Amino acid sequence: MPIEVDVAVLGGGPGGYTAAIRAAQAGRSVVIIEKDKLGGTCLHRGCIPSKALLRSAEVYATVKNASAYGVTVPSDGVSVEWDGVMKRKGAIVEQLHKGLQALMKQHRIEVVSGKGRIIGPSIFSPRSGAIAVELADGESETIVPRNVILATGSRPRKLADLPYDGVHVVTSDEALDWPTLPGSVLIVGGGVIGAEWASLLSDFGSKVVIVETADRIVPLEDKDISAELARSLKKRGVEIHTGAKLIGSSCKVEDGTVQAVIEKDGKEVPLSAERMLVSVGRQGNVENLGFENTDVKAENGYVKVNPLTLQTGEPHIYAIGDCIGGVQLAHAAMHEAAVAVDHLLGRAQATSRAADRDIPRCIYSRPEAAAIGWSEAEAAKQGFETKTAKIPLRILGKALVYGESEGFAKVVADKKTGDLLGVHLVGAHATDLIAEASLAKLLDAVPWEIAQTIHPHPTLSEALQEVMAALDGGASHG
């Protein structure tokens, strides 16, 4: 017999499990269909394991620099125990995975392990939206929901002509399970993922080379963020080639070494490293989901949705998270989950999906970077006459005490109205500090109001107070 439920969620990542819990909390019966492990890419191949590695790298870098804090390390120095690093990463993932499983039981959410595919009208349902699930044991199950939420996520985008082998030439998925720490790595793609891997690998002592086609790394962020991160990475020995293109057909693995050629300034430049990490973005998982049986459409590799309600061409079928494109971040998927569930529940207080620019963007490198809103250049393109302020973190007592004084805080505002247009941070705990700017954007706070908010001293949060005050020449330490 088919399983009849109020809501079926296809995909158990952050967006999927958040949607399931929210619907269950409203008293709806819910099933999650997940082909892999509950938690999705974020928990098992993305956010959490990569941040665990970044933290280990940060600790190693701090210990190596212990003398700056008046602490003496053993004369034989410190070393990286890669097996221990990977064991810690695995333990964190497993703990969170068990926690999610417990949450599903707590909210009486049934988790079906298998590959789901939407089917059209049938004897089970007069309308499309029933889901046929191919179970791991070869059997099948049919789910008949009143509403469907597609949360199928994404996967690393691959470049053609590269000899991917899971060890020497990899995406970020395979890099998370490298059996040994590489002595050298060629990173193709200097976006967020590339910058984070460059940071952690260089901190672990690997020789790192970045190849980026744009004229700067993390090209989608404010130019000041790009410049600061590039400066920091270069200071640690990272070699950065911007305006460069990898010649895919040139790549080969010989005697455990990756050989490649890039094209830069009209010249061909040979490069080699123990391993190659390809980080050129992600693509939505939209294949083989049975869309042909429905009015759900995929466009440019992503599910097409109403940008406000997240409904597809079938009003009772929603899509959220990486599979719809836009800002492909776990917290964006969680926000979209709330929007979709509140809409299908018919809640009067249901909100619309936030604009991409109002979703915080974070880079967990060392130093960290975070932003929300428009960059200075983007604001100008939107027709705003802007005014900006920027302060270095080294003016803050807490930054000096913490031993992490790299970075800055920058604000972009509308010169005519004073409205807050964008906040850009580089420095220790920038990914935590950006939450205040996110709240300010939600409440339509202007810089003057943030400057008037009492911030504790000494803290890194003073950076936001100072930069907002600096916009009108009122910074205390600027």
Q: Please state, in angstroms and rounded to a whole number, the distance separating the CA atoms of residues 181 and 79.
A: 12
**Strand pairing of 282-284 and 154-156?**
antiparallel
Query: 121-131: per-residue pLDDT in tens?
Result: 877 777 888 99
Q: What is the pLDDT of residue 437?
A: 98
The total of other beta-carbon atoms located within 10 Å of residue 169's CB is 23
Question: Collapsing DSSP states into helix, strand and coil, what is residue 95?
Answer: helix
Q: Which of 42, 430, 435, 385 is nearest to 228 (CA)?
A: 430
Preceding peptide of 219 cis, ω within 30°: no
pLDDT given at position 136: 84
Residue 385's pLDDT band, with cuts at 50, 70 and 90, is very high
457 catalytic? Reply is yes
Alpha carbons within 13 angstroms on the beta-carbon side of residue 66 total 11
CA 125 – CA 156 distance, rounded (Å): 35
Question: Distance between CA atoms of 342 and 370, rounded to whole angstroms?
Answer: 29
Q: Give the model confidence (pLDDT) of 283-334 as tens digits.
A: 999 999 999 999 999 999 999 999 999 999 999 999 999 999 999 999 999 9
Per-residue confidence band for 157, with pLDDT thresholds at 50, 70 and 90? very high
Asked whether the predicted pLDDT for residue 268 surpasses 70, the reply is yes
What span, in angstroms and rounded, lies between the C-alpha atoms of 241 and 227?
Answer: 13
Whole-model pTM: value is 0.95
Q: Find out whether 367 and 406 touch, Cβ atoms under 8 Å.
A: yes
Q: How far apart are CA 115 and CA 289, in angstroms?
A: 9
**What's residue 170's pLDDT?**
98
Q: How far apart are CA 211 and CA 269, in angstroms?
A: 11
How far, in Å, are 119, 188, 370, 438, 457 from residue 432 at the CA level? 43, 28, 9, 11, 17
Question: By the 8 A CB rule, do 259 and 270 touch?
Answer: yes
pLDDT at 1 over 90: no
**Distance in angstroms (rounded) separating the CA atoms of residues 399 and 462:** 10
Are 372 and 438 within 8 A, CB to CB? yes
pLDDT score for 475: 61
Residues 422-446 have pLDDT tens digits of 999 999 999 999 999 999 999 999 9
Neighbour count for residue 337 (Cβ, 10 Å): 28
Residues 5 and 29: beta-carbon distance below 8 Å: yes
Cβ-contact 302, 332 below 8 angstroms: no
Contacts of residue 359, defined as CB under 8 A and 6 or more positions apart, other chains included, come to: 327, 329, 331, 332, 335, 372
Query: Alpha-carbon distance 176 to 166, whole Å?
Result: 10
What amino acid is encoded at 142 in this protein?
Answer: T
Query: Percent of the chain having pLDDT more than 70?
Result: 99
What sign does the CA torsion over 252, 258, 263, 269 have?
Answer: negative
- What is the per-residue pLDDT across 92-151, written as a single tens digit (0 to 9) for each? 999 999 999 999 999 999 999 999 999 988 777 778 889 999 998 889 999 999 999 999
Query: pLDDT class for 2, splitting at 50, 70, 90?
Result: confident
Percent of the chain with pLDDT over 90: 93
DSSP string, 140-196: EEEEEEEEEEE---EEE---TT----SSSEE-HHHHTT-SS--SEEEEE--SHHHHH
Instruction: Please state the rounded mean pLDDT for residues 185-197.
Output: 98
Terminal C-alpha separation, the chain: 70
With 70 as the cut, is the pLDDT of residue 478 above it? no
| Mean pLDDT score of the chain | 95
How sure is the predictor about 337, in pLDDT bands with cuts at 50, 70 and 90? very high
Average pLDDT over residues 232-250: 97
Instruction: Say what the pLDDT of residue 474 is.
Output: 66
Full DSSP string of 420-473 = EEEEEEESTTHHHHHHHHHHHHHTT--HHHHHHS---SS-TTHHHHHHHHHTTT
Residue 126 is predicted with a pLDDT of 77
Are the C-beta atoms of 337 and 151 separated by less than 8 Å?
A: yes
User: What is the per-residue pLDDT for 348?
Assistant: 77
Alpha carbon of 461 to those of 40, 76, 84, 393, 436: distances in Å? 32, 38, 33, 10, 9
Q: How does DSSP classify residue 381?
A: H
Please give the Cα distance from 190 to 229 (Å, whole number). Answer: 11
pLDDT score, position 476 = 61
| β-pairing verdict for 282-284 and 386-392 | unpaired
**CATH numbers and ranges of domains, the chain:** 3-48+85-155+283-356 (3.50.50.60), 158-280 (3.50.50.60), 367-470 (3.30.390.30)
Among candidate residues 168, 331, 457, 477, the one labeled active-site is 457
Find, among 296, 281, 285, the residue nearest to 33 by Cα: 285
Q: Where residue 477 falls among pLDDT bands split at 50, 70, 90?
A: low
CB 323 within 8 A of CB 150: yes
With a cut of 70, say whether residue 396 has pLDDT above it: yes
